[in-house]
């Protein structure tokens, strides 16, 4: 689930991937400078949070779909924590 942070005007997406894929995922996202920010919440469980500026949401969702087809991951449903 996505939540919008009113303070930063960004969307948060939580995903779960294989821990072995975290570095690859981070490097892939980082290659698109400024598109989004990735934070590893729990490396052992493969839980990642992606912060996406509202203006880039559609671009990032397309990128995530391409990555999902390559390495697979599960989008985590979280309670809405909008500020």
Q: What is the pLDDT of residues 20-77, one digit of tens each?
A: 999 999 999 999 998 999 999 999 999 999 999 999 999 999 999 999 999 989 887 5
| pLDDT band per the 50, 70, 90 thresholds, residue 2 | low
CB 36, CB 51: distance < 8 Å: yes
Query: Which of left, alpha, beta for 43 (phi over 0: left; psi -120 to 50: alpha)?
Result: alpha
- State pLDDT tens for residues 5-14: 454 688 899 9
Give me the domains of the chain, ranges plus CATH numbers: 3-76 (3.30.70)
Question: Half-sphere exposure of 22 toward its Cβ, with a 13 Å CA cutoff?
Answer: 16
Q: Is the dihedral of CA 75, 79, 81, 82 positive or negative?
A: positive
Q: What is the pLDDT of residue 79?
A: 37
């Amino acid at each position: 689930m996505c939540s919008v942070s009113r303070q930063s005007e960004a969307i948060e997406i939580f995903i779960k991937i294989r821990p072995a894929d975290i570095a690859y995922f981070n490097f892939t996202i980082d290659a698109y400078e400024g598109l989004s920010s990735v934070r590893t919440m729990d490396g052992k469980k493969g839980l990642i949070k992606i912060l996406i500026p509202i203006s880039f949401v559609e671009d990032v969702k397309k990128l995530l779909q391409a990555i999902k087809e390559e390495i697979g991951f599960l989008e985590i449903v979280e309670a809405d924590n909008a500020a």
